[in-house]
């Protein structure tokens, strides 16, 4: 059997697994040979194992087989090397601690000297034991010496912090080497028939679970006079815990879902008929907890339909050049081939790699819901004019140098638009007041009528005109005897649906605009209503 050394050459990472390509070469003579590739991951999907080859040798592939094997535990030499390395680092840390203590003592001496000088130098000047030039020189020396000592303490702190990280890394490696772990691994045995001797290069391809990637986005918006400047940094967070490190390898991120597309989901029978009889009640009945759940399910809050949520979810220097991924489409799946080679250790931690940096066109406007909040929210409507599919993932939002917050990006295909909320802007002021609250004392057929009116004032303190969408609402009746009607709105709303009123206005710089609306609620006199303004 010929043992062949291989290295990971390429990795295609799917959302929940990875395809590994290993490569190696060996010299072969005429005849049938078994070539062994050792130390493959214990979670390898054996049915996915494939091999291909080429070279100066003329060969025919006969079979590829995965065999379980056991690898040797790390030798004592490895433990000794790591232990010696740990001792060296700890000795260096001890020397830094001593130096830090000396610097701290010197700083304390300088502080005491400064306190003593502050008390005694005025006396020396008064009795002519020192002149002003000497005092000045002493003060400059003391100031410079104090500054130098503090800087030294800061540098020592930084050195110790970096050294401590290295110590912790070596300690983790040493613990991993010393701790027991699974000894089962796989060996790939490739059987080939050689009719002409020479060099044979083999590629081994297999699939492993416990690996995946997910998108991560940084959205940076810079304020401009005419339109905002938007840059979307598309990152891939790659993780793996397969038992083998991927070192300096060609990385491809794929949107394909092998587990979903491998087979068509089957349909179950769809039955229709009269309802089944209810189960017989127990002797104890429902019980208090079940009764409480049933009551809460039958009696939702009276003002549930009146609630509305407003979804609201840096200084840039000249950017460095960044290699972006090449997009390849195969069927419904898209693959991003990362141009730079990447190393991903088998530690289960996320490791970021840049997929693309996309300058995208955007429209900036404002959105406010004065019934819920008196703030105006900046909103960017961004068009994905790239060839990249933006998969669902976390979106970190920056306005200039300011971190706004985190949102979630849904699936955005090329050509689609998506929205990002960029925080509040207090230069757009919003005020809402109740201006009408009347109860008609005249009864028409034993019915009571109430009228309510509101005024919303919008003020633009920005130096340019803005577009602002304002949302408010009137109640929605949940009873046939309760009538709600919008009686007046100036200006009329652009949309009205389920009591939600929406205005889309253009507001010139340094100007105000009022929105007024009134509504009427009519109900039987004896009926008690909830959810109305106080």
CATH code: domain of residue 483: 2.60.40
**Whether residue 311 has pLDDT greater than 50:** no
Q: Which of 96, 115, 98 is nearest to 157 (CA)?
A: 96
| Residue given tokens 């406010």 in the structure block | 368
In this structure, what are the phi and psi dihedrals at residue 276, rounded to the nearest 5 degrees? Answer: -70, 150
Both 334 and 439 in a single domain?
A: no
Both 224 and 343 in a single domain?
A: yes
Distances (CA, A) of 494 to 282, 472, 513: 56, 12, 16
179: its two tokens? 């701790």
Both 344 and 232 in a single domain?
A: yes
Q: Report the C-alpha gap between 49 and 65 in whole angstroms.
A: 8
Task: Give the pLDDT of residue 76.
Answer: 60
Both 386 and 243 in a single domain?
A: yes
**Whether residue 11 has pLDDT greater than 70:** yes
Both 474 and 434 in a single domain?
A: yes
Residue 302 lies in a domain: no
Residue 265 lies in a domain: no
Both 229 and 157 in a single domain?
A: no
**Helix 132-178 vs helix 76-126: crossing angle, to nearest 10:** 170
Peptide bond into 86 cis (omega under 30): no
- The DSSP element (H or E) to which 413 belongs, if any, is none
The total number of structural domains that make up the chain: 4
Q: Report the C-alpha gap between 99 and 91 in whole angstroms.
A: 12
**Whether residue 294 has pLDDT greater than 80:** no
Residue 275 lies in a domain: no
Q: How confident is the model at residue 369 (pLDDT cuts 50, 70, 90)?
A: very high
Q: State the pTM of this model.
A: 0.59
Q: How confident is the model at residue 112 (pLDDT cuts 50, 70, 90)?
A: confident
In this structure, what are the phi and psi dihedrals at residue 176, rounded to the nearest 5 degrees? Answer: -65, -40
Enclosing domain of residue 512: 428-524
Instruction: Specify the higher pLDDT residue, 385 or 136.
Output: 385
Both 231 and 337 in a single domain?
A: yes
Task: Give the pLDDT of residue 402.
Answer: 85
Q: How confident is the model at residue 284 (pLDDT cuts 50, 70, 90)?
A: very low
Both 195 and 62 in a single domain?
A: yes
Least confident of 190-194, 207-211, 295-299: 295-299
**Whether residue 124 has pLDDT greater than 80:** no
Sign, Cα dihedral of 141, 145, 148, 154: negative
Both 98 and 52 in a single domain?
A: no
Q: How confident is the model at residue 48 (pLDDT cuts 50, 70, 90)?
A: very high
Residue 372 lies in a domain: no
**Whether residue 292 has pLDDT greater than 70:** no
Both 238 and 315 in a single domain?
A: yes
Q: Which of 533, 523, 531 is nearest to 301 (CA)?
A: 531
Q: Report the C-alpha gap between 470 and 374 in whole angstroms.
A: 11
Residue 324 lies in a domain: yes
**52 contact partners, CB below 8 Å, separation of at least 6:** 61, 202, 203, 205
% residues pLDDT > 70 (the chain)? 82
Residue 281 lies in a domain: no
Residue 357 lies in a domain: no
Both 228 and 87 in a single domain?
A: no
Both 450 and 393 in a single domain?
A: no
Q: How confident is the model at residue 313 (pLDDT cuts 50, 70, 90)?
A: very low
Residue 114 lies in a domain: yes
Instruction: Specify the higher pLDDT residue, 462 or 531.
Output: 462
Cα-atom radius of gyration of the chain, to the nearest Å?
Answer: 37
Q: Report the C-alpha gap between 123 and 323 in whole angstroms.
A: 68
Instruction: Specify the higher pLDDT residue, 453 or 223.
Output: 453
């Amino acid at each position: 059997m010929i043992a062949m050394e291989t290295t990971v050459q390429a990795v295609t990472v799917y959302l929940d697994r990875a395809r590994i390509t290993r490569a190696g070469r060996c010299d072969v003579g005429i005849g049938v040979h078994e070539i062994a590739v050792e130390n493959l991951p214990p979670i390898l999907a054996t049915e996915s194992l494939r091999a291909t080859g080429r070279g100066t040798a003329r060969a025919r592939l006969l079979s590829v087989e995965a065999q379980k094997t056991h690898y040797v535990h790390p030798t004592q030499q490895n433990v000794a090397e790591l232990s010696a390395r740990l001792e060296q680092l700890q000795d260096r840390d001890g020397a830094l601690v001593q130096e830090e203590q000396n610097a701290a003592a010197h700083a304390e001496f300088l502080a005491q000297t400064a306190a003593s000088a502050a008390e005694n130098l005025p006396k020396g000047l008064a009795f002519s034991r020192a002149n002003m030039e000497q005092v000045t020189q002493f003060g400059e020396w003391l100031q410079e010496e104090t500054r130098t000592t503090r800087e030294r303490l800061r540098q020592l702190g930084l050195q110790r912090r970096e050294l401590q990280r290295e110590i912790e890394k070596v300690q983790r490696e040493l613990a991993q080497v010393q701790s027991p772990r699974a000894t089962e691994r796989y060996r790939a045995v490739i059987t080939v028939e050689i009719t002409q001797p020479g060099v044979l290069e083999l590629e081994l391809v297999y699939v492993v679970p416990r690996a995946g990637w997910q998108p991560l986005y940084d959205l940076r918006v810079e304020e401009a006079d005419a339109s905002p400047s938007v840059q979307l940094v598309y990152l891939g967070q790659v993780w793996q815990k397969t038992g083998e490190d991927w070192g300096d390898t060609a990385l491809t991120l794929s949107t394909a879902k092998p587990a979903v597309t491998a087979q068509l989901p089957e349909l179950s029978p769809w039955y229709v008929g009269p309802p089944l009889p209810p189960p017989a009640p127990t002797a104890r009945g429902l019980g208090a907890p079940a009764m409480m759940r049933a009551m809460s399910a039958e009696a939702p809050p009276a003002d549930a339909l009146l609630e509305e949520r407003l979804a609201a979810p840096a200084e840039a220097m000249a950017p460095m050049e960044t290699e972006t991924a090449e997009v390849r489409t195969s069927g419904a799946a898209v693959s991003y081939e990362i141009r730079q080679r990447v190393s991903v250790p088998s530690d289960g931690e996320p490791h970021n790699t840049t997929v693309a940096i996309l300058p995208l066109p955007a429209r900036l406007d404002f959105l406010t819901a004065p019934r819920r909040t008196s703030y105006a929210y900046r909103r960017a409507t961004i068009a994905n004019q790239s060839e990249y599919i933006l998969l669902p993932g976390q979106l970190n939002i920056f306005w200039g140098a300011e971190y706004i917050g985190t949102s979630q990006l849904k699936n955005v295909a090329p050509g689609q638009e998506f929205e990002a909320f960029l925080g509040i802007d207090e230069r757009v002021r919003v005020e809402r007041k109740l201006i009408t609250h009347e109860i008609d004392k005249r009864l028409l057929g034993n019915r009571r009528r109430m009228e309510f009116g509101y005024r919303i004032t919008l003020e633009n303190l920005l130096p340019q005109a803005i577009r602002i969408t304002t949302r408010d609402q009137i109640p929605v009746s949940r009873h046939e005897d309760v009538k709600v009607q919008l009686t007046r709105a100036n200006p009329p709303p652009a949309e009205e649906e389920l009591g939600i009123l929406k205005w889309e206005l253009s507001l010139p710089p340094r100007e105000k605009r009022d929105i007024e609306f009134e509504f009427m609620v009519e109900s039987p006199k004896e009926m008690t209503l909830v959810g109305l303004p106080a």
